[in-house]
Amino acid sequence: MTILVTGGAGFIGSNFIFYEREKHPEDRIVCLDKLTYAGNLSTLGSVLDAPNFRFVKDDICDREAVYRLFEEEHPDIVVHFAAESHVDRSIENPGVFLETNILGTAVLMDACRKYGITRYHQVSTDEVYGDLPLDRPDLFFTEETPIHTSSPYSSSKAAADLLVQAYHRTYGLPVSISRCSNNYGPYQFPEKLIPLMIANCLADKPLPVYGQGINVRDWLYVEDHCKAIDLIMRKGRVGEVYNIGGHNEMRNIDIVKLIIKELGKSEDLITFVTDRKGHDMRYAIDPAKIHAELGWLPETLFAEGIRKTIRWYLDNKEWWETIISGEYQNYYQQMYGHR
Ligand code: NAD
Ligand code: TDX
């Protein structure tokens, strides 16, 4: 079987490729990635020359390139990770989010219709449900929760989800969608909360906590997400949405304090900065459906996962130091310089 993985040079896509190669070495994996600022070919260094693996640098919005690739590879399954994924960037510059996340998804599904596939899987996010109030810990996002987005990022992901459902209903495309909570783990780009705090902590730089740091996210170790996607794309029901999350809700400030403690630094590094515009308060997933239908449960406890993650960033300094020494400096100045 050939699996086309888009966005495989990014955080979750690369972890997914490693997971698939371990669990299903018989499958061929083709990775399509544009290598934007968030994509890093060195991440895939260990598999680039491996048999049953091919990397293709192209844009999912480029119809000709995508059709050519389908003609060459005839993938059985398409797993679509490629996206602009950072909320703060979407607030500064929404345009590219609409192009990649919405139009790119349509191009990919058009190719699936034209050449035929057995499954198209859309990797979506809990952010499409908007947020929950802090004073209602009894509320969770289920698959029935209405779409209600806050940021250009989440709106573009929600629009893509609606298109995926439309392609299923209108053209009978065999699709599935997963909506996962916040991931953490190896190879996450240092603009995201956990790796940013680890990198700043190690450099004794201020730790920029938005607002009061009381926003809650539901954190899941990336490998648990990969396992869930693997199950859904192989055994999940066509046309269905599956929520993925591990009931691991934490306030941002507590995550930051935990990282400080693990790295033996001082809480004086914490700097409260101007809040994110439209900042979602709380995300919390109800994963009952994927548990009941596919037997999925998260395996990595947060205490263990965060230690593994911190250890990974300590052991792989070159990977992220290369990133933050380049264009990232301009980004950091632009995003945090005036807060
Ligand atoms: P990421 O930003 O780390 O990686 C995105 C990858 O997509 C990069 O390799 C990039 O080069 C590639 N890409 C971007 N635009 C492209 C284009 N036009 N054509 C081809 N490739 C392109 O993102 P991530 O955190 O790994 O997220 C992957 C997916 O999972 C996204 O769809 C995101 O919405 C979703 N998701 C992420 C999280 C999370 O916590 N990170 C949680 C739930 C869902
Ligand atoms: O410097 C920071 N300071 C801070 O307080 C950063 C980068 C973030 N934050 C806060 C904002 C959020 O409340 O931390 C929380 C997590 O922020 P991000 O890492 O930017 O993630 P989030 O906005 O929650 O979105 C993530 O999870 C859902 C991913 O980036 C999305 O791609 C995914 O869909």
Would you give per-residue pLDDT tens digits along the chain (339 residues)?
999 999 999 999 999 999 999 999 999 999 999 999 999 999 999 999 999 999 999 999 999 999 999 999 999 999 999 999 999 999 999 999 999 999 999 999 999 999 999 999 999 999 999 999 999 999 999 999 999 999 999 999 999 999 999 999 999 999 999 999 999 999 999 999 999 999 999 999 999 999 999 999 999 999 999 999 999 999 999 999 999 998 999 999 999 999 999 999 999 999 999 999 999 999 999 999 999 999 999 999 999 999 999 999 999 999 999 999 988 899 999 999 988
Closest atom of ligand 1 to 189 CA is 3
- Check if 153 is active-site: yes
DSSP state, 269? G
> Is 44 part of any domain?
yes
Q: How many domains does the chain have?
A: 1
> Is 50 part of any domain?
yes
Closest residue by Cα to atom 16, ligand 2, is: 193
Q: Is 182 in the pocket of ligand 2 (CB under 6 A)?
A: yes
> Is 273 part of any domain?
no
What digits encode the pLDDT tens for the residues 111-133?
999 999 999 999 999 999 999 99
Closest residue by Cα to atom 28, ligand 2, is: 182
The reported pLDDT for the residue numbered 11 is 98
One-letter amino acid at 95 equals G
88 CB-near residues (< 8 Å, 6+ apart): 191, 276, 335
Domain range spanning residue 19? 2-188+219-248+279-301
> Is 331 part of any domain?
no
- Check if 126 is active-site: yes
> Is 116 part of any domain?
yes
Closest residue by Cα to atom 19, ligand 1, is: 59
One-letter amino acid at 276 equals R
Tell me the three state secondary structure of residue 331: helix
Distance CA 227, CA 230 (A): 5
Closest atom of ligand 1 to 82 CA is 7
One-letter amino acid at 138 equals D
Tell me the three state secondary structure of residue 265: coil
What is the DSSP annotation of 30-57? EEEE---TT--GGGGTTTTTSTTEEEEE
The reported pLDDT for the residue numbered 327 is 87
The catalytically annotated residue of 126, 223, 249, 280 is 126
Distance CA 225, CA 10 (A): 14
The reported pLDDT for the residue numbered 326 is 86
Closest atom of ligand 1 to 86 CA is 2
> Is 16 part of any domain?
yes
The reported pLDDT for the residue numbered 338 is 85
Q: Are 97 and 157 in contact (CB under 8 A)?
A: no
Pocket-testing residue among 125, 217, 243, ligand 2, by greatest number of atoms within 8 A of Cβ: 217
- C-alpha distances out from residue 272 to 193, 208, 211, 275, Å: 14, 6, 6, 9
> Is 323 part of any domain?
no
Q: Are 11 and 188 in contact (CB under 8 A)?
A: yes
Report the interhelical angle of 317-324 vs 302-315 (nearest 10°): 70
> Is 333 part of any domain?
no
Distance CA 111, CA 67 (A): 6
Q: Are 235 and 171 in contact (CB under 8 A)?
A: no
Q: What is the CATH number of the domain that holds 94?
A: 3.40.50.720
Q: Is 193 in the pocket of ligand 2 (CB under 6 A)?
A: yes
What is the DSSP annotation of 71-112? HHH--SEEEE--S---HHHHHH--HHHIIIIIIHHHHHHHHH
31 CB-near residues (< 8 Å, 6+ apart): 4, 5, 6, 8, 9, 13, 17, 44, 53, 54, 55, 56
- Check if 127 is active-site: yes
Main-chain phi, psi angles of 243, to 5 degrees: -80, 145
* Residues with C-beta less than 6 Å from any ligand 1 atom: 6-7, 9-13, 33-36, 38-39, 59-61, 81-85, 100, 104, 123, 125, 157, 180, 182-183, 189
DSSP state, 1? -
- For residue 334, the CA-to-ligand 1 centroid distance in Å is 22
Closest atom of ligand 2 to 209 CA is 5
What digits encode the pLDDT tens for the residues 152-167?
999 999 999 999 999 9
The reported pLDDT for the residue numbered 319 is 96
The catalytically annotated residue of 153, 187, 242, 313 is 153
Q: Is 127 in the pocket of ligand 2 (CB under 6 A)?
A: yes
The reported pLDDT for the residue numbered 339 is 83
Supply 19's token pair.
Answer: 């997971």
What digits encode the pLDDT tens for the residues 283-318?
999 999 999 999 999 999 999 999 999 999 999 999
